[in-house]
Amino acid sequence: MIDQRKLPQEETYVKCRSYECVAEAIEKMVIRGAPAIGVAAAFGLALGFQNLKTAEKCDEAFSKIFLRLSETRPTARNLFWALERMKQVFEENRHLSFSNLKKRLVDEAAAIEHEDIEANRKIGFHGKDLIADGDSILTHCNAGALATAGFGTALGVIRAAVQEGKKIKVYVDETRPFLQGARLTCWELEKEKIPTVLITDNMAGHLMQKGEITLVITGADRIAGNGDTANKIGTYPLSVLANEHSLQFYVAAPFSTVDLSLSEGAQIPIEERDPDEVRTIRDLCLTLPEVEVRNPAFDVTPARLISAIITEKGIARPAFEDSLAQLASERMSEKEG
């Protein structure tokens, strides 16, 4: 996997030969983005099982690998969704020979990866109609190809609209502390020559006030049954500002991000990360080395501030309890040719 911590300055790859390596890559954000974490965890589980020498106690071994990977990061729904799906496949195919079971798990991880790319393309297909020619779109963090198996969620919608010939400008929040916007989203957009303007996270309000931003679209890490959405820290303030300026605020995510077991966003666990991510950038100390820091990695945008949730199954509108439940009961939309 590409080492996202080093982009855009270096394009280097990390090769994982153990599930522990995958777990650490997720923890340290070598790979990040809810859908990408899900795919990585699925492959990590397949890899860990692949590395087992003997079928003896392989149930225990599977559980141990499952547990290790599930403890890497708490917020993204897709991590747990992908691991649970792998577990179900494991249990359903327990009767297979050891080598066939190994192969079955690798195939399932590959299917999760393939389906995620498909889902992103359908998210783009559904979402592009919400974008008008001439829009100036604000996005936060990176909800692009790097955050997924490919194409992207929020950036997938933008890509699909651009592919249709719409002229779009994208304002990119740098997204402190990890700078996913400055480092990853700018890198993706510039590669495709989509007009990009980088801003610091505190500039969106001013640009909305000046009429320079016409809508907001972000990804999601977990969506509760009522539509409350956890996403990268700083998303919630953007939803409040969008509301203040009567701008549409869209969330784009595969349905694997939706967690119908949670009735509301307050139940979503919010990861608190290492204070040094705030105090330093690379080895540069930005402040006093010992100052106390808070570093919540996500916040929750209440459903009432979300205009629509764009999924591969279609677009959910308020009331989300109903629209998400309705989409959950449907197969993936067949609309795209």
Binding site for a copy of itself (CB under 8 A): 8-9, 171, 173-177, 179, 182-183, 186-187, 190, 195-207, 209, 233-234, 236-237, 240-241, 244, 270, 278-279, 281-282, 284-288, 291-296, 299-300
DSSP-derived 3-state class of residue 113: helix
Bridge pairing between strands 229-232 and 298-301: antiparallel
CB of 8 to a copy of itself, least distance (A): 5
CB of 193 to a copy of itself, least distance (A): 12
Determine phi and psi for 64, rounding to 5 degrees: -65, -45
CB of 311 to a copy of itself, least distance (A): 25
Number of residues in the chain: 337
Phi/psi class of residue 182: alpha, beta or left (left: φ > 0; alpha: ψ in -120 to 50)?
A: alpha
Query: Counting beta carbons within 10 angstroms of the beta carbon of residue 265, is it exposed (0 to 12), middle (13 to 18) or buried (19 or more)?
Result: buried
Residue 283 identity (one-letter amino acid) = D
Is 182 or 258 the residue whose CB approaches a copy of itself more closely?
182
The answer to whether 221 is a known catalytic residue is: yes
- Cβ atoms of residues 56 and 94 within 8 Å: no
Q: Which residues of 34-44 are buried (b: 16+ CB within 10 A; e: fewer)?
A: bbbbbbbbbbb
Is 289 or 337 the residue whose CB approaches a copy of itself more closely?
289
CB of 294 to a copy of itself, least distance (A): 5
DSSP-derived 3-state class of residue 303: helix
CB of 66 to a copy of itself, least distance (A): 30
Of 221, 228, 259, 299, the active-site residue reads 221
Is 55 or 285 the residue whose CB approaches a copy of itself more closely?
285
Is 119 or 216 the residue whose CB approaches a copy of itself more closely?
216
Which of 117, 68, 219, 247 has its CA nearest to residue 158?
219
At a CB cut-off of 8 Å and minimum separation 6, what does 9 contact?
none
Tokens of 25: 């890559």
Is 153 or 180 the residue whose CB approaches a copy of itself more closely?
180
| Cβ neighbours around 233 below 10 Å, total | 23
Instruction: Supply the residues annotated as catalytic.
Output: 221
